Amino acid sequence: MAVTNDPGADPHLDADAKRLAELGYKQDLKRSWSSFSNFAISFSIISILAGCFTNFGAGFNNGGPISISWSWPILSVFILIIGFTMSELVSSYPTSGGIYWWASKLGGPRAGFYTGWLNLVGLVAVTAGVAYGCATFIDLTISTWSEGYAADYSLTRVFLTFLVVLVFTAVVNIFSGHLMAIMNNISVWWHVFGAALIVVLLVVVPDEHQSIGYVFTERFNNSGFGDGSTSSLGFFLAIIPFGFLLTQYTITGFDASVHLSEETQGASQGAAQGLWKSIAYSAIGGYVLLLAVVFAIPSVNGAPDNAGVGAGGVAYVFVSSLGSTKAGLVLFISATAQVFCATACMTSASRMLYAFSRDGAVPGSRHWQQLTASRVPARAVLLVAAVSAIVTAPALIEVNLGTAEAPLIIPVAFYAVTSIAVIGLYLSFAIPIFLRWRHGEKFEVGPWNNGAKYKWMNPLAVAEIVIVSIYLMMPFVPGAVPFSDDFEWKFVNYAPIVTLGILLGITVWWQVSAKNWFKGPIRTVDEADPAGAL
């Protein structure tokens, strides 16, 4: 009988462990997640009850209602195409470090090194952004129900709440991987019924609603650029795209389905479907939710209160349209959903850090790849929490574009962190998507694939990512434009500084050192003993 060194040839391995062994890894993580749980974690991280509300102002102030009613569905289609291209990849290569593993497999160690670091930075930033948004909504919820609490508002208080959220998500992640799967399953239904209840309240409770014409044709420019113009070419080519952050940030983090693939049963199908379905369902649900909010915008003296909404965001809409009691309930539903979301983000980021460390790409890798007795990368969780707190520290600086009597507080640090998340994650997606397109028919597809449609899907996906990333590195307000009379560092969108700094650092590190020792994914399966993958 012929002897084989194929690590996937052992008949005692189940299909998932066998495929993982073929890719070079032992089944170290516990494979206890169902396909629904895999879908649930990406759906939870996308969290329409988080991104739709925390970044509502980014869309509304940069274009007005049309920036929501038109930008959301258009961008959602492009993001779904990105999801389809990634679903094909995870079906073929279902590993925890998936994004980086794909790039390494298709483009070599250098492509993998860049992809891994961009993905890791994006995941840490999205964890930070979601946790800070969660803290903001916890503060808004309590403030809505308590005038005394509202009167003592401070950025320091919000930041301390943010730290509590980070600690909570870290503790939950460390002490039970199985509990995480249960939480994400609960999170799906919390989002579904919570969003449905909010929509019903916004439809039934307000005495009046804005017109269809307002929702789908009204435009204005609160960006501070272009003297408020809404008819110039710059308005359509620059101002409205600033609002893309709302959609692009909300519908992100779906690569969690990839990072949890080693813990998912039937991963080649389950992770692929979990990824694209989380995008599709979130896009539809998020659009209905956002339209309900825009229709419920209050009027003052017979005209929509655009200025009030621009300054107060969704909280102002809820309080004005629903009253403080029901508004507090809506904010509570959203804040709780954001706790689920932040917890899921921590899971995804820590699994990526674990996988990247497993291949020796992170300083101190031997620490971050260690698992507890319950097979959880606890040290990776703690590092993600610590770095998340550090990158969000600028949120302690107040940025007021108004006056003491009429403040207009712009969350520049929050927008910057969320921009970093979007840029890092989507650029890391773009690399393997492009490489798969370049491989053409040579690419070995998995059970779930796009067939010949990859020929137009992949380049379109890459183009969307590059264009949106460029927009998100632009200044948010005039005071952030270098050499302008109003320039101050507190206004600066530090997303391009961080992103370009990271790219420069990766490049220098690669040229000076990493290219000599980083060879891509390291096999943990002994080809002579394939049963070791069990």
pLDDT of residue 338: 92
pLDDT of residue 168: 94
- CA neighbor of 364 nearest in space, from 392, 346, 394, 387: 387
For residues 436 and 458, the answer to whether their CB atoms sit within 8 Å is: yes
pLDDT mean by block of 10 residues, the chain; 534 residues: 41 68 73 79 86 88 92 96 95 81 91 92 90 92 88 87 95 76 81 94 94 94 81 85 88 83 82 92 95 94 85 89 93 93 88 85 86 82 94 77 53 75 90 95 91 96 93 80 79 81 90 88 60 44
- Answer yes or no: are the C-beta atoms of 134 and 328 closer than 8 Å: no
Tokens of 450: 């796009």
With H, G, I as helix, E, B as strand and everything else as coil, classify residue 299.
Answer: strand
Sign, CA torsion 374/376/377/381: negative
Q: How far are the Cα atoms of 87, 128, 139 from residue 418, in angstroms, in the given order?
A: 24, 8, 19
Beta bridge partners of 300: 303
Per-residue tokens: 67: 């920036």
In angstroms, the CA 344 to CA 341 distance is 5
| 63 bridge partner residues | 220
Helix (H) or strand (E) holding 304: strand 303-304
- pLDDT of the residue at 296: 95
Q: Is the dihedral of CA 97, 103, 104, 110 positive or negative?
A: negative
CATH architecture, domain defined by 35-518: Up-down Bundle (1.20)
Query: Any alpha helices (H) in 299-397, and if so which ranges?
Result: 306-322, 324-358, 365-368, 378-391
Domain ranges of the chain: 35-518
Measured CA to CA, the distance from residue 104 to residue 94 in angstroms comes to 14
* Phi, psi of 26, deg, nearest 5: -75, 160
User: How many Cα atoms within 13 Å fall on the side-chain side of residue 394?
Assistant: 19
